[in-house]
Amino acid sequence: MADPNTIPDEPKHVEAKAVILLVAIAALIVAFFVYVMYARGVFEPTQQLVLVADDSEGVIPGMDMTFAGFPIGRVRQVDLGKDGKVNILVDIPKTDAKWLRTTSVFTLESSVVGQTRLRAYSGILTDPPLPDKASRPVLRGDAAAEIPRLMSTARTLLENLENMTRPDSAIGTTLANAATFSGRLTGKYGVLGTALGGDEEAKKLLQTLQRVDAILAKTDRRVFGKNGVMDDTQAAVRELNGMLQDARVTLQKVDAVLVEAQAVGANAKVATQDLGRLRGEVDASLRKVNRLVDEINRKWPFKRDEEIKLP
């Protein structure tokens, strides 16, 4: 600018080129703005949905609401209502509103990595469509909120594990006992020693068993041996058999006696019946004698005076 008339060398058609450039850049800027407005859904007819949540953490204007993984709405505004609840205003294009029904469920999921996700689930697509400006509660699932609980559970679990793996823990003792048990199993007295609690006890048991064995041998000899108890028993049984036969004969005789006695009884019965008749007859004879005596008394001169004299 030392020379006042210095202007950079004038290229050909410089004004036309400048105009072309100006127009092109202006068109580019306008096109960019139109594209951004289109991308933000300015030209699309929408309906509103108000989601009511307890906590707005992670919800930012502009975030998508998805249905089956497809974005169908965009959060326009998040504000705090008079009742202390968070109202999330979602714009849903009319073309996508068909996926939302009156029975749709809305969830807000916060993951450990990445942004919070707003999802819609429509179980029954034949239900009536969601009306404009509808208000629905949103269910919140927060993975980050689960972490403290998970950590405390994990800590308890680890403490338990540590308690279990300590040398003086119950499991350790059990395992030591198991080792002793398996050691005893493979020892001299094996299962017997293990079951009785020591080799000494097992030894005693074995001695006892040996004694029992010796006693059994003696018993066998005394019972089943020559001139043993069994031989005597057999003789006694034979004798008893003979006695039984004698008893049977005796009983037969008794039977005959009884038959006779029965016959005697029958005779006695008949005799008893005759005696009854005889007694009747005797009674009749006595009554006749009685009447006769009365008759004689009346007719006899030694008749008694029957008059009663009063003093």
Partner 1 sequence: MPISSLLYLKPRDWGARIARYASSWWSMLHLGAIALVMAMSPSTWHRANRLATSTYIHASTWAVLPWFTLLTALISLVIIRIVLVTAQSYGLSGFALEMMVRVLVLELIPLSAAMFAALRAGMAFDANAMGLAASGVAPGDAADATLRRVRRDLVPQVIANAFSVLSLAMVSSVIVLVLAYLNVYGLSPWGLGDYTRTVGRVFNPVVTLGFVFKTVLFGLAVAVIPSAAILDMLRYRRRHRSNVQPGALRLLFVLLLIEASSLAVKYI
Residues that bind partner 1 (CB under 8 A): 1-2, 4, 6-8, 10-11, 14-15, 17-19, 21-22, 25, 28-29, 32-33, 35-36, 38-41, 61-64, 71, 74, 113-114
State the Cα angle at 189 between 188 and 193, rounded to 5°. 130
Q: Which residues have a Cβ under 8 Å from the Cβ of 109 and sit 6 or more positions away?
A: 116, 117, 119, 140, 141, 142, 143
Q: Are 142 and 117 in contact (CB under 8 A)?
A: no
Beta carbon nearer to partner 1, 76 or 203: 76
Please compute Rg for the chain using Cα positions. 65
- CA nearest 52: which of 130, 110, 137? 137
Beta carbon nearer to partner 1, 25 or 145: 25
Q: How far is CA 138 from CA 84, 98, 105, 108, 225, in A?
A: 15, 19, 7, 7, 98
How many CB atoms within 10 Å of residue 172? 14
Beta carbon nearer to partner 1, 61 or 131: 61
Beta carbon nearer to partner 1, 39 or 251: 39
Beta carbon nearer to partner 1, 11 or 301: 11
192, exposed or middle or buried, with CB in 10 Å at 0-12, 13-18, 19+?
Answer: middle
Cβ at position 115, least distance to partner 1 in Å = 8
Beta carbon nearer to partner 1, 70 or 302: 70
Beta carbon nearer to partner 1, 4 or 128: 4
Q: Are 199 and 189 in contact (CB under 8 A)?
A: yes
Cβ at position 93, least distance to partner 1 in Å = 11
Cβ at position 116, least distance to partner 1 in Å = 13
Beta carbon nearer to partner 1, 89 or 205: 89
End-to-end CA distance of the chain: give it in Å, rounded: 207
